[in-house]
Structure 1
Amino acid sequence: MGRKFKKDPKNKKLFYKYLSIITLVSLLSVLIVCSTYLGIASKYRNDEQLTTLARNTTIISKNSEKILSQFSGKYNSDDVVDISPLSMICNTINNMSAAIDADIFIINMNGEVVVCKEMMSDRFRFDSNAVCVVHGGYKIDQSIIDAATDKDYTEVGRLGSTFVRTQLTAASPIKINNKTVAIVIATEKITSSWYSYAKRMLQIFLVAALFSLVVSFLAVYYLSYRLTRPLRDMATATEHYAQGDFSYKVKVRGHDEVAQLSEAFNTMAMSLSALESSRRSFVANVSHELKTPMTSIGGFIDGMLDGTISEDKYEHYLRIVSDEVKRLSRLVTGMLNMSKLEAGEMQINMKQFDISADIFKTLLSFERKINDKSIEIVGLDKMESMIVSADEDMMMQVIYNLIDNAVKFTPQNGYIEFKTYRDKEKLFVSIKNSGAGIEREEADKIFERFYKIDKSRSYDVKGAGLGLYLVKSIVELHGGQIVCKSRINEYTQFVFWLPNV
């Protein structure tokens, strides 16, 4: 009981596990938020840039159509008759490319680049003999040409197989007389400036995340410690209980579910303490109940054998020995029945019988004790036959225990009153005896197993505290109930009911 319990580092395993999980979840949450933000920001930027590219390719295509329409001659995708309009278009492309920092060029319907800013001479005129080192090797896929022939086209990709890396692309058709003769294409790399921006944002997020994690770690550490402290207290308490020390109590903190669990744990400890006390009391009672008759039986038989008791007194002492043997038999039977009831192994053999007749028969077995105490029996002349459906052997035990209890506690020249009656649903049996009565506090406990009203055993000298517990259990097993009514220094009355046949 005085054993000291050392704190085991393993007791904090749950605390560290909980702390690690919460920290990991917080870190993952920050990373998810950061990744989501960068993804949304990247998509938003791409959409904005594609909108800008599409708007400018449309402007160039409309401007090109207007320029070409102002000049006579025939223009097609393979031959340019007039150099002047191409110079104007090339100049427009050059200015627009510089303004939006994009690569803009025009392709014919075969996918070849025919106009780009690199074809402009130093005198700002289109040089048809110029060789473009940038776009000279481009050959736009037919699928792109088909997609951009009749309407504007945008993509985030490699423009078919033109580029090695993903780029932003917008295309608008140039139409003469409702016929597409060329396509304006504008491309923009996903520049390093965006990656720099993303990197800066990631750094900001990581700094914020680090700060948040530190704060979260401290908060989670504190909360985890508070949440797991009652569990550690309970673990310590179980160690005490395992050693039989039920005095240790878990401290209740707050009013939440953990506090309710702590209260329930303490309630359980009190129940275990009461059960342990009852068990010890039961062991002491049973030991005494076994020892007393065994001592009497052994003493009387030894007296007969060694001649201490004369032969003319044999019958008297043999009767005492017989009573003690019966007492031992009842004690053992009660313990066996209690064990069966608690294990749910008690089998009920239902049959119909007259419970009033069983009361008469059982009362006859107490005739000598009743006569010795000059007890008056009341109510037998008014009892009628009462048929009940129950296990007769069990009901006989109920009746026997109640009569035995009444005879035991009825004073000299007292009375015991019997009554049976019924209503539409229930059959009632009442056994009332005069005497000292039972305190209200005691009346609530007398049906508990091993409980004895008189701890000093000055009255209940031959009981183990099982009789009324078995009575209550058997009655409830039949679907009935039993109650105790008492008035101090006047009477004690037990009334039980069973369902009608």
Structure 2
Amino acid sequence: MSRYYPMKKKAWFLFLLFLVIVAGLVASVTFYLYENLYLEGESGYLEEQILTLQDLYDSGDMEIFEERLNWTIESTPMEAIVSSDPMMLGAAIPLADPEDELVINQIERNRLLNGEVITIMRDHGALNERILGKVAPVMESGYLDAVIILYRPVAEIQTAFYQILPFVVIIGSLFVLLLFIVMKRVQKEFISPITELEHVSKELSKGRFDTPIDIHVENELSDLAVSFKQLADALAQEEEKKRAFIQNISHELRTPLSYIQGYSELLENHCKEQAISTEYATIIHKEAHRMNRLVNQLIDLTKLEKANEDEIEFSPLVLSEIIEDAVRNTALKRQEKQQTIELHLDEELIVNGTEDRLLQIFINLLDNATCYTEPKSHIFVQASKREKSAVVEVRDNGQGISQEQLPFLTERFFRVEKSRSRAEGGVGIGLSIVKQIVDLHHGQLTFDSVEGEGTTVTIELPLYNEM
């Protein structure tokens, strides 16, 4: 069971909640407009008219007063009552006939006696609707002489709302449509891509690195999709390397094990001559040594891939001395192939590093130069200063390497020629180790080669006093 609601459901829930809030706001605004604009406007208009009539009545020109009163009744939805009946004024004032309900209570009558214009709003039984009115007193010698009542029916809130309902529906529909379009856009631009990335991540976790990423937007999520694709490609490459590694290591270990098993059986069951026994024992020893070297290289490579510079003790080292040690350690192989070597070393070059690891670099490079160069050939080694770096070049005049294969030289188990016998070289781990060591020393490893002319390996290491 999911611990949370999916983003898509949350988005639509917020959409519906927003619609409810908007509907509430529309109702509230309608009520506010009714109370504060419609009723106030009508009340103000009534007061303006009744004050005019009150002034005309006070002036004593009843003919002009009657004309104005009739005009007001005929030209507006207002009704008017003018009463000077002492009985009515002494008790209460009905709107129309004596049997109708009284609309002026005692408190309002007292305000009239004080000369105030009062506002009345209440339901009128005879009219069967709500009325809004103004009552103006006419005072004579401090006494209430007459009253002028001006009133009109006013629409209820429902009626007012029904009047503006078409406009509310149109505007609300447009707003909902706009909000729906925005919501669909948000779903397309953000929610759907996130859901797709979640699906892809689950597929990647299952090892399905070829899962397509179906995202067609142009925003940050499209960049994230590209990163996901690059991650999937990198994982797929690593998975392929892992398979190749298992195949290669199985093959590399199977061959010496087959030799050891086969020749040991011959020694045990069939071999009686000392010379043959010695030959078989030599083969067994050689293959066991090769298998041991392979295992040591794998362990070494694994350590280097996980290592960081904090775990390695660096110290100032004279680079020429390390190269000379590597030359001495590899001299026997060159002598067997009658190869010569030429050294041009700057003895003032000092680098910050580990002696064993740097020695491992140059032994590996010199071994490769010897293995892949013809007998009686020449190897050239130069160490010089270039700006703030020490640059070491190891050049041979061997078979050379194609430009297409140069970028793969430091990959594990990569061989330039698959058909080369293992007697001519290692298993394809040496340059991977060299690359890891150079990286740990903040250096650079580059290759330059021309087929049929030879290969140059260049290592650039920071100088000690420049670090």
Q: Same fold, TM exceeding 0.5?
A: yes
CA positional deviation for 1:97: 8.9
Give the aligned CA root-mean-square deviation in angstroms: 5.3
Aligned residue in 2 for 1:370: 334
Identify the match of residue 318 of structure 2 among 339, 343, 354.
Answer: 354
Matching residue's letter, 1:478: H
Identify the match of residue 366 of structure 2 among 398, 403, 412.
Answer: 403
Aligned residue in 2 for 1:57: 47
Work out whether residues 318 and 347 of structure 2, in 8 Å CA contact, stay in contact via their aligned partners in 1.
no
Work out whether residues 56 and 96 of structure 1, in 8 Å CA contact, stay in contact via their aligned partners in 2.
no
Identify the match of residue 483 of structure 1 among 424, 429, 446.
Answer: 446
Aligned residue in 1 for 2:89: 128
1:444 aligns with 2:378: no
Aligned residue in 2 for 1:467: 430
Partner-residue secondary structure (3-state), 1:271 = helix
Work out whether residues 319 and 347 of structure 2, in 8 Å CA contact, stay in contact via their aligned partners in 1.
no
Work out whether residues 400 and 452 of structure 2, in 8 Å CA contact, stay in contact via their aligned partners in 1.
yes
Structure 1: gaps (5+ residues): 1-9, 72-83, 105-116, 159-165, 177-182
Q: Give the TM-score taking structure 1 as reference length.
A: 0.66
Provide the C-alpha distance between the structure 1 equivalents of 2:107 and 2:83, rounded to a whole number of angstroms: 17
Matching residue's letter, 1:357: E
Provide the C-alpha distance between the structure 2 equivalents of 1:307 and 1:284, rounded to a whole number of angstroms: 33
Partner-residue secondary structure (3-state), 2:44 = helix
Work out whether residues 196 and 213 of structure 2, in 8 Å CA contact, stay in contact via their aligned partners in 1.
yes
CA positional deviation for 1:402: 1.7
Partner-residue secondary structure (3-state), 1:435 = coil
Between 1:359-368 and 1:25-34, the stretch displaced more is 25-34
Provide the C-alpha distance between the structure 2 equivalents of 1:240 and 1:456, rounded to a whole number of angstroms: 38
Change (3 A) 1:315 1:371: farther
CA positional deviation for 1:486: 0.6
Alignment map for 1:70-469 (pairs within 5 Å): 117=81, 127-132=88-93, 134-139=102-107, 191-192=155-156, 194-199=157-162, 201-202=164-165, 205=168, 246=209, 249-250=212-213, 253=216, 263-297=226-260, 308=271, 324-344=287-307, 347-379=311-343, 384=347, 386-458=349-421, 463-469=426-432
Provide the C-alpha distance between the structure 1 equivalents of 2:149 and 2:366, rounded to a whole number of angstroms: 111
Provide the C-alpha distance between the structure 2 equivalents of 1:414 and 1:220, rounded to a whole number of angstroms: 75
CA positional deviation for 1:350: 0.5
Matching residue's letter, 1:362: A
Provide the C-alpha distance between the structure 2 equivalents of 1:425 and 1:53, rounded to a whole number of angstroms: 92
Deviations 1:319-344 (A, max 9, x none): 76665555444433332333334334
Work out whether residues 296 and 321 of structure 1, in 8 Å CA contact, stay in contact via their aligned partners in 2.
yes
Work out whether residues 325 and 359 of structure 2, in 8 Å CA contact, stay in contact via their aligned partners in 1.
no
Deviations 1:462-495 (A, max 9, x none): 5333222221222122211111111111111111
CA positional deviation for 1:234: 6.5
Work out whether residues 424 and 500 of structure 1, in 8 Å CA contact, stay in contact via their aligned partners in 2.
no
Identify the match of residue 47 of structure 1 among 37, 43, 50.
Answer: 37
Partner-residue secondary structure (3-state), 2:458 = strand
Identity, in percent, stands at 21
Q: Give the TM-score taking structure 2 as reference length.
A: 0.70
Work out whether residues 289 and 463 of structure 1, in 8 Å CA contact, stay in contact via their aligned partners in 2.
no
Partner-residue secondary structure (3-state), 1:431 = strand
Matching residue's letter, 2:394: I
Work out whether residues 62 and 174 of structure 1, in 8 Å CA contact, stay in contact via their aligned partners in 2.
no
Structure 2: gaps (5+ residues): 94-100, 123-129, 141-146
CA positional deviation for 1:279: 1.3
Change (3 A) 1:137 1:245: closer
Work out whether residues 438 and 444 of structure 2, in 8 Å CA contact, stay in contact via their aligned partners in 1.
yes
CA positional deviation for 1:317: 7.0
CA positional deviation for 1:348: 1.5
CA positional deviation for 1:315: 7.7
Provide the C-alpha distance between the structure 1 equivalents of 2:431 and 2:132, rounded to a whole number of angstroms: 92
Between 1:194-203 and 1:464-473, the stretch displaced more is 194-203
- Total equivalences in the alignment: 439
Change (3 A) 1:153 1:285: farther
CA positional deviation for 1:103: 10
Between 1:235-244 and 1:423-432, the stretch displaced more is 235-244
Provide the C-alpha distance between the structure 1 equivalents of 2:386 and 2:209, rounded to a whole number of angstroms: 48
Work out whether residues 54 and 136 of structure 2, in 8 Å CA contact, stay in contact via their aligned partners in 1.
no
CA positional deviation for 1:384: 3.0
Partner-residue secondary structure (3-state), 1:489 = coil
1:495 aligns with 2:458: yes
CA positional deviation for 1:197: 3.4
Change (3 A) 1:387 1:174: farther
Work out whether residues 119 and 130 of structure 1, in 8 Å CA contact, stay in contact via their aligned partners in 2.
no
Matching residue's letter, 1:131: A
Provide the C-alpha distance between the structure 2 equivalents of 1:170 and 1:334, rounded to a whole number of angstroms: 107
Deviations 1:409-465 (A, max 9, x none): 122222221111113411111111221211111111212334332234446865333
Partner-residue secondary structure (3-state), 1:369 = helix
